[in-house]
Amino acid sequence: MKAVVYNGPRDVSVEEVPDPKIEKQADVIVKITSTNICGSDLHMYEGRTDFETGRVFGHENLGEVVEVGSAVDKVKVGDMVAIPFNVACGYCKNCERGFTNYCLTMQPKKEWAGAAYGFADMGPYQGGQAEFLRVPYGDFNCLRLGEDARDSKRQNDYVMLADIFPTGYHATEMAGVKPGDQTVIFGAGPVGLMAALSASIRGASRIWVVDRRPDRLGLAESIGAIPVDGSKVDPVEFIKDQTMGLGADNGCECVGYQAHEPDGTEDMNLTLNQLVQAVRFTGKIGVVGVFVPQDPGGKDEFAKNGKAVFDYGWFWFKGQTMGTGQCPVKKYNRLLRDLIVSGKATPSFIVSHELPLEQAPEAYQHFDARDEGWTKVVLKPGMK
Ligand code: NAD
Ligand code: ZN
């Protein structure tokens, strides 16, 4: 089959690789029909992780089940499924408590937790930017979809259930967003935009989205959020001005460790410290932007070892709390699917490009450069 293979920093190509097979009887093989490029892929694409060359990217996957192992009961050949990016067993101590993001059995390193498809440090699982994908524990890890999911356009909504819609929602859950709240979101990439959509679903009265990319800020505005261009105004002052100096009720970090000044200078502490300042006393902050223990490209010894120069004094003084980490997709994907089915959520509004798998290399280039108009790419392996 064809798949998107990582060759080294900023170098991917579409190559012929072996087809996945049923390896354990609980496995399912899915023919991928929609698979997204994610901001998380970009950390790996840029060589800012230890992702191995020769491996296949892709953790935001949707497709049709084409083969099931003999221990699979619920999922049937022919089902359309959205696949959480977390690979989880369903029976370990963490999965039992709903933390499929920190599954203990699918992560091969004994002292670590959490696994994902095509992801650095998250186990050996191949990614789904390919024609086929092996899904371990298929009954547990597949979310079945309705017949409408056979339609390629409709898939642009459902494929967001694999990662970024639940992840944006998780940011708002950790931030405790409730009806009437005023919420600030840093980052208007796909994740930040899904956090804005989620805050709106949860009844926030005002939502600010901070970024500096006009196209992305425009999408935030299109769903009723207030765009804040951090290259033109100081976002902290802007939000304080609009809240009688008190700050937002809660905040979401949707940028991650490659946060930078508008001039491109990287500073992994930037958005974390701005959130501490922009959120009020006792406010909650949800951090879904990725931070890593080791960053080979970090600008100094602190950054190289994942150590933030964090404004802990103010954070403590303000009595704030912070939630962090990968999203437990299964906690939310069913309820978010049903919001899509009923028409109450249309996450495909962020999709700018649908491309055949073969065009992945140029799609990576444009999305990585955050080129104007490249907000979210859905690769369609079947498309000619
Ligand atoms: P993205 O890179 O497309 O978006 C990031 C946005 O942040 C860009 O639009 C950029 O202009 C903006 N930005 C950079 N510095 C900024 C700053 N100082 N202030 C405001 N905005 C700034 O990526 P994405 O797909 O939206 O993902 C965002 C983050 O979420 C990434 O770190 C990704 O790895 C992470 N992620 C986490 C999870 C999870 O489970 N926790 C899941 C998916 C993605
Ligand atoms: Zn992702």
Task: Judge if 23 and 136 occupy the same domain.
Answer: yes
Name the strand (E) or helix (H) holding 7: strand 2-8
The bridge status of strand 80-83 relative to strand 182-186 is unpaired
In short, whether 260's Cβ falls inside 6 Å of ligand 1 is yes
In short, whether 202's Cβ falls inside 6 Å of ligand 1 is no
Q: What is the CATH number of the domain that holds 33?
A: 3.90.180.10
Beta bridge partners of 356: 380
Whose CA is closest to atom 24 on ligand 1?
A: 39
Q: What is the pLDDT of residue 384?
A: 77
In short, whether 192's Cβ falls inside 6 Å of ligand 1 is yes
Task: Judge if 233 and 298 occupy the same domain.
Answer: yes
Task: Judge if 12 and 153 occupy the same domain.
Answer: yes
Task: Judge if 153 and 199 occupy the same domain.
Answer: no
* Ranges of the chain whose pLDDT falls below 50: none
Who contacts 139 (Cβ-Cβ below 8 Å, separation ≥6)?
A: 26, 28, 72, 73, 74, 75
Task: Judge if 235 and 293 occupy the same domain.
Answer: yes
Q: What is the pLDDT of residue 257?
A: 95
Ligand 2 ion: Cβ-proximal residues, 5 Å cutoff: 38, 40, 60, 163
**Phi/psi of residue 73, nearest 5 degrees:** -110, -45
Q: How far is the CA of 229 from the centre of ligand 2 (A)?
A: 24
Task: Judge if 176 and 158 occupy the same domain.
Answer: no
Task: Judge if 186 and 335 occupy the same domain.
Answer: no
C-alpha 292 chain-centroid distance = 15
Q: How many CB atoms lie within 10 A of CB 284?
A: 20
In short, whether 140's Cβ falls inside 6 Å of ligand 1 is no
Q: How far is the CA of 38 from the centre of ligand 2 (A)?
A: 4
pTM of the full predicted structure? 0.98
Name the strand (E) or helix (H) holding 190: helix 190-201
Q: What is the CATH number of the domain that holds 286?
A: 3.40.50.720
Task: Judge if 186 and 137 occupy the same domain.
Answer: no
Q: Are 132 and 29 in contact (CB under 8 A)?
A: yes
Task: Judge if 150 and 172 occupy the same domain.
Answer: no
Whose CA is closest to atom 39 on ligand 1?
A: 326
Domain range for 203 is 165-324
Q: Are 115 and 103 in contact (CB under 8 A)?
A: yes
What atom in ligand 1 is closest to the CA of residue 270? 18
In short, whether 230's Cβ falls inside 6 Å of ligand 1 is yes
What atom in ligand 1 is closest to the CA of residue 329? 40
Task: Judge if 224 and 86 occupy the same domain.
Answer: no
Last residue of a domain, one of 308, 324, 340: 324
Task: Judge if 177 and 314 occupy the same domain.
Answer: yes
Whose CA is closest to atom 29 on ligand 1?
A: 289
pLDDT tens sequence across 181-235: 999 999 999 999 999 999 999 999 999 999 999 999 999 999 999 999 999 999 9
pLDDT tens sequence across 99-157: 999 999 999 999 999 999 999 999 999 999 999 999 999 999 999 999 999 999 999 99
Q: How many CB atoms lie within 10 A of CB 319?
A: 10
| Counted domains in the chain | 2
Q: DSSP 3-state helix, strand, coil percentages of the chain (rounded to 5)?
A: 30, 25, 45
Pocket probe for ligand 1: among 57, 101, 186, 255, the residue whose CB has the most ligand atoms within 8 Å is 255
In short, whether 329's Cβ falls inside 6 Å of ligand 1 is no
Q: How far is the CA of 151 from the centre of ligand 2 (A)?
A: 22
Last residue of a domain, one of 306, 324, 342: 324
Q: What is the pLDDT of residue 17?
A: 98
Task: Judge if 84 and 173 occupy the same domain.
Answer: no
Last residue of a domain, one of 324, 354, 370: 324
Q: What is the pLDDT of residue 58?
A: 98
